[in-house]
Amino acid sequence: MSVDVLTPAMTECKNLLQSVGETFWSQKIETFLSLRTENISADDAREVMTWFGGMGSFNDLMISAVNGHNVKPEDEDRYGHDLDHLRDTIYNEAKGIL
């Protein structure tokens, strides 16, 4: 596991979230990535791991028109599936750096 997978997954996730108007998490990911010019360190990976778990965490995010996202109700499952896949990749890759 490496930054070669983590950074692109985070970038793809940020782009997905921006495309539906999810500003909080897309900005959090964008800020994280913008502050890293070299390999993601173990400390960086620990920071990413804090995004998961607990109320209001990255795990709780659901892409939904009801949540104010720019998505049609019939597309919510597809966006949700894509988000779940990216979250799993981000979590597992960050965990692998530790």
Task: Please report the pLDDT score of residue 68 as a whole number.
Answer: 95
In the chain, the DSSP E strands lie at none
Which DSSP category does 40 fall into? P
What mean pLDDT is predicted for residues 78-84?
A: 98
Domain that holds residue 93: 3-97
pLDDT class for 13, splitting at 50, 70, 90? very high
What mean pLDDT is predicted for residues 20-47?
A: 92
Q: Is 18 exposed, middle or buried (0-12, 13-18, 19+ CB in 10 A)?
A: middle
Work out how many domains the chain is built from and give that number: 1
